[in-house]
Amino acid sequence: VGPREVVVKHMCFQTSKENLYHPSSLTPHKGIQKSSFDFHHLQRKKVMGRKTPRNKTRVLFMMLKRKMTMKNLKLYIENQGIIEENERLRRKAFVLHQENQLLLSQLQNVNN
């Protein structure tokens, strides 16, 4: 066994002395998770922008604008339904008025 190939026995694991001091052997998963977390965090921060009061105000404004747009759309649809029903009732009233005029003229003819 050469000086670089010294085997250290520790808790039933066998690792070479070179691997013992390698950063990945000290914390194999934490380093990878942390670096990927940092990467994704920075990407998200870049996409989302900084969390400043100005950005919060803009986000709140956009949410309010979206809510108002939806409310306006619902009211517009409701108004269209009311307008259609109003026109239908107006046509019905016109037909009833004509029928009333016809009945009145027939009544006058019978009385004369």
Task: Give tens-digit pLDDT for 8-54.
Answer: 444 445 555 555 555 555 555 555 555 565 666 666 655 555 556 77
Return the amino acid letter for 104. Answer: L
pLDDT computed for residue 38 by the predictor: 66
Output the average pLDDT for the chain.
76
CA angle in degrees (0–180, nearest 5) for 84-90-94? 150
Q: Taking Cα atoms as reference points, which of 23, 24, 25 lies closest to residue 15?
A: 25
